[in-house]
Amino acid sequence: MENQAELLKEVKAKAALWLSEDYDAETRAAVKAMLEAEDPTELIESFYKDLEFGTGGLRGIMGAGSNRMNIYTVGAATQGLANYLKEAFADLPEISVVVGHDVRNNSRKFAELVANVFSANGIKVYLFEDFRPTPELSFAIRHLGCQSGVNITASHNPKEYNGYKAYWSDGAQIIAPHDVNIISNVEAIKSVKDIKFHGDPSKIQIIGKEIDDAFLTAIKGLSLDPEVIKRHHDLKIVYTPIHGTGVKMIPESLKNYGFTNIIHVPEQDVPSGDFPTVDSPNPENPSAMAMAIEKAKEVDADLIVASDPDADRIGAVVRDKNGNYQLINGNQIVMILLNYLMVRNREMGRLTGNEYIVKTIVTTETIKAIAENNNIRMFDCYTGFKWIASVIRDMEGTGRYLGGGEESYGFLAEDFARDKDSVSAISLMAEICAWAKDRGMDFGEMLQDIYVQNGYSHEVGISVVRPGKTGAEEIQAMMKAFRANPPKQLGGSPLIIIKDYADLNVKNLKDGTVGKLDFPTTSNVLQFFTEDGSKVSVRPSGTEPKIKFYIEVHSHIDSRDQFEAAETAAKAKIEAIKADLGI
């Protein structure tokens, strides 16, 4: 109780500072109401800490307070970033940035605020006229030759949230050394008086259609089989933006590719930060795809595709030979797209030996088999597209990027943008559907053929939620226990390799040797590999109170008719592995 009383005292003192004339009337009224409320929960949640500017920027619930997304926390983040840009690019006659936003409540307001703060600091701002997909912001930074960019988005988080993503001159989200340098500059903003809120309109240029056209033209250049689209231009494609930013650009891109039968879900074409037709605007959740599936059944569609609110992630539902619609998971989406890009490049005689692909360490190893079977180099990287972008940057001028992705429904088919892109991914997914149809296959059969040729795999992600301070301690204890006493076997197969990214050691349990992993930094991730090819990755979430387990099992199938038996066996093995892990 004493701790609670002490915390409440600290929080009240902190909140009282927000009653000064430095803050606007609306904010002061909200803080006053929290201070006077009988229940102090909202006050504590809003002020018990400062909303942290992490390596990806800010993300939090909107509202008044130091731990909330509001004009003051967004202003401080922008002032800190502006200070660092002026330091990092001191030799340039003019520093320029791009500012974009999604459809969320307050996103336009925050974007205009960001533009004002940058311009007040003498920085040239290209501000999108309205909401745009996140990957288009990344493209615009490169296209306009800017030094940085900011996108106001909370991706697929619930409607109460908003966020702030910072980008560097290559169009990628920020990594070392810039991330820590920006964080220290943001932390140095100690007072609202340090923030230059009053913008310079002469420094702000509104952008829109010219960037849209350039982006769509570049995406059309990724198409590898325009002839197959001509033959199947009337493929029935249901698309939903789930109330998000993809509503305009994705149908335009599909039309640009040559598809003439794009079927909308009208209720979900309405841009809205309230996401009124779904519990969660996340295309990996079956419930978010329910309306699109109903529409597909109505029109007998060949393919269902979706994008999340900021249109960087893709969801897909395919129809099998029995007419059933099946949600394909993130691993399968990445696998299908990479398989097509590799196989089609090979068919076209475009492979010269310097091509490469990228996947994250928790994404399926079947992709590695596909790459090996096509003699294409594959890089593994940490979770997050900034790491895929980092590989592209390192390979600039020495290799040709074919594509990269992660199991969390993100894919990037191009190097002219440097963040995951559902606009290009959905366009290519439709092309793949036409390509499969041209070969007399439905999507399900094409997927089964990939498994026949490269080995079967089944992947499951499990999140164990442990909220609060005790939960964080429990998660730490679990990671410590896995390191001290790793399982001897998983699903009946002995462990042969342990990779620990916390110290970058890889242990071969067969001969006792220890090698080093070639990664740019350490990360709190553990991986177990078994003799029969199973892989388990364990990592605490960086943004939520949970520990994540990624389980993947492998087997061989010789024909499509062995697929169902392999799937049944894989599900049983995953249950056995879960039991061995105690989850």
**Model confidence over 549-568: pLDDT tens digits?**
999 999 999 999 999 999 99
The answer to whether residues 320 and 442 touch, using CB atoms and an 8 Å cutoff, is yes
Length of the chain equals: 583
pLDDT at 152 over 60: yes
Whole-structure pTM value = 0.96
Q: Average the pLDDT over each of 29-33, 122-126, 168-172, 321-325 and give the range with the smallest value.
A: 321-325
> 49-207 belongs to which CATH class?
alpha beta
Closest CA to 69 of 37, 29, 111: 111
The answer to whether residues 319 and 442 touch, using CB atoms and an 8 Å cutoff, is yes
pLDDT at 13 over 70: yes
Report pLDDT for 314: 98
Name the residue with tokens 């992600």: 461
pLDDT tens column, 200-244: 999 999 999 999 999 999 999 999 999 999 999 999 999 999 999
Q: For residues 155 and 34, what is the distance between their CA atoms, to the nearest angstrom? A: 28
Alpha carbon 288 to its chain centroid, in Å, reads 17
The SS3 call for residue 362 is coil
For 211, other C-beta atoms within 10 Å of its C-beta total 21
Taking phi first (over 0 means left), then psi (-120 to 50 degrees means alpha), and beta for anything else, what does residue 492 get?
Answer: left
Q: For residues 184 and 84, what is the distance between their CA atoms, to the nearest angstrom? A: 9
pLDDT confidence tier of residue 543, bands split at 50, 70 and 90: low
The backbone torsions φ and ψ at residue 569, rounded to the nearest 5 degrees and listed phi first, read -65, -40
The SS3 call for residue 143 is helix
Whole-number average pLDDT of the chain? 96
pLDDT at 2 over 60: no
Mean pLDDT of 18-29: 96
Burial class (CB in 10 A: 0-12, 13-18, 19+), 318: buried
Q: Show me where the domains of the chain are located.
A: 1-44, 49-207, 228-454, 456-581
pLDDT at 468 over 80: no
pLDDT tens column, 264-279: 999 999 999 999 999 9
Q: Average the pLDDT over each of 51-60, 245-254, 518-527 and give the range with the smallest value.
A: 51-60
Q: For residues 143 and 498, what is the distance between their CA atoms, to the nearest angstrom? A: 43
pLDDT at 134 over 60: yes
pLDDT at 418 over 60: yes
> 228-454 belongs to which CATH class?
alpha beta
Check for a shared fold between 228-454 and 456-581: no
Say whether 138 is catalytic: no
Report pLDDT for 467: 82
> Is CATH 3.30.450 correct for 456-581?
no
Q: For residues 299 and 455, what is the distance between their CA atoms, to the nearest angstrom? A: 34
Give 332-336's long-range contacts (Cβ < 8 A, gap of 24+).
Answer: 332/447, 333/405, 333/409, 333/411, 333/425, 333/429, 334/359, 334/363, 334/364, 334/367, 334/405, 334/406, 334/407, 334/411, 335/364, 335/366, 335/367, 335/370, 335/450, 336/429, 336/432, 336/446, 336/447, 336/450
Name the residue with tokens 């994540």: 548
Closest CA to 549 of 560, 558, 540: 540
pLDDT tens column, 288-304: 999 999 999 999 999 99
For 10, other C-beta atoms within 10 Å of its C-beta total 13
Closest CA to 26 of 54, 61, 77, 65: 65
Could you tell me the end-to-end alpha-carbon distance of the chain, in angstroms, rounded to an integer?
A: 34
Mean pLDDT of 459-483: 90
Alpha carbon 157 to its chain centroid, in Å, reads 11
Report pLDDT for 1: 45
pLDDT at 542 over 80: no
Report pLDDT for 453: 97
Q: How many helices (H) and strands (E) does the chain have?
A: 18, 23
pLDDT at 67 over 70: yes
Report pLDDT for 56: 79
Report pLDDT for 322: 85
Sign of CA dihedral 68, 71, 76, 78: positive
Report pLDDT for 4: 79
Closest CA to 248 of 199, 295, 311: 311
Q: Which residue of the set 107, 119, 138, 155 is catalytic?
A: 155
